[in-house]
Copies of this chain bind each other. A is one copy, B any other.
């Protein structure tokens, strides 16, 4: 879900967010090591997760603030925005345990990294079990530190209180969305409605809408901008995720960094899958269903599935949905409530997110 890294709407805040996270981690590493020097490897693992994020949520929080008239440079806003990266780190570390994923951003997933430490040290018991336990605790620390960083961002207590509604909603929604996603996998549901609901909570609200709401609330204009940011954020978030899902199937492995057909092998119940099943004949749909989620899916099977996604009309339908949602997001930016200076960057984020190749 990365907009192009050359997007200036993202890069304007990125280095500031990186620095605030790095300062927070340095301070908290010290506190942890006072408790016990043996906590160092856990802190290392945590910092790997926090230092490598794409800063999407901070970017939307920042432009939500700017669109509500917030100042261009404000260290408090940078810290409040950066705090969302700890929430994201928790979500990723825990998701990787839940999905038993081996890697994250080309590096070993946190639980794998900690399992490796266990094996290298020759400790007793099961390395995988230790790795999972350690990753659960590392994710918990990230979640706790997210609101610690938010509350300590430097805004007046009343201002922070105004931001709590989107901040709290964001956490509940991403966890609920992740639970529903897990549920769709085991129930084998693959309807459009189910896929759209997961996208709405796990991606659109969590990644785009709520961070925008947070920025507006911290700028003291939450109520006026709630609707605009929903009208912009939900379609953009869905278009984002849909582009991601298309890249997960058709993306060039050399730019996405993931093997071809990876999402099909993982069995993700995406809207692309739901559209394909809904648009295919019984025989094709049955075969597609049977192949979906097979970890040993052959290249030939991936090719057959991709061909069905295309010939069924699902690919074209999803591509036009991306365009349609992107148009709706852009249209919302016409609102007179929005501070003019933010229109360009917010529009740029739509283009970057929906026309990207990785």
Q: Which A residues form the contact surface with B (CB < 8 A)?
A: 28, 31-32, 35-36, 38-39, 42, 90, 94, 97-100, 118, 121, 123-125, 129-130, 132-134, 136-137, 139-141, 143-145, 147-148, 151-152, 156-158, 160-161, 164, 168, 171-173, 175-180, 182-183, 185-188, 197, 201
Contacts and interface: CB of A to CB of B under 8 A. Distances in A.
A213 B197 CA distance: 43
6 contacts: A35-B201, A38-B183, A39-B180, A42-B179, A98-B137, A141-B175
A295 to B, nearest CB: 12
B175 A140 contact: yes
B168 A157 contact: no
A161 B201 CA distance: 30
Contact of A179 (B97, B134, B152, B180): B134
A137 B156 CA distance: 31
B177 A133 contact: no
B130 A182 contact: yes
A176 B160 CA distance: 27
A98 B201 contact: no
Given A36-B180, A188-B124, A161 B157 contact: yes
A182 B35 CA distance: 15
Contacts of A151: 151, 161, 164
A146 to B, nearest CB: 9
A31 B121 CA distance: 45
B148 A168 contact: yes
A163 to B, nearest CB: 10
A39 B123 contact: no
Nearest to A141: B175
A45 to B, nearest CB: 11
A239 to B, nearest CB: 21
A152 B164 contact: yes
A209 to B, nearest CB: 14
Contact of A118 (B144, B156, B186, B188): B186
Given A157-B158, A183-B38, A98 B141 contact: no
Given A144-B171, A172-B28, A187-B123, A197 B36 contact: yes
Contacts of A125: 185-186
Q: Sorted from nearest, which 8 A-B pairs have the closest CB atoms?
A: A157-B157, A98-B133, A123-B186, A144-B171, A35-B176, A148-B168, A137-B179, A125-B186
Contact of A157 (B124, B160, B197): B160
A185 to B, nearest CB: 7
Contact of A172 (B129, B141, B177): B141
A157 B145 CA distance: 19
Nearest to A188: B124
B186 A32 contact: no
A25 to B, nearest CB: 13
Given A136-B136, A141-B176, A151-B164, 12 more contacts: A35-B176, A94-B137, A98-B132, A100-B129, A121-B187, A136-B139, A137-B175, A140-B140, A141-B172, A156-B157, A157-B157, A157-B158
Contacts of A177: 35
Contacts of A179: 39, 42, 134, 137
A39 B176 contact: yes
Given A125-B186, A136-B94, A144 B172 contact: yes
A17 to B, nearest CB: 21
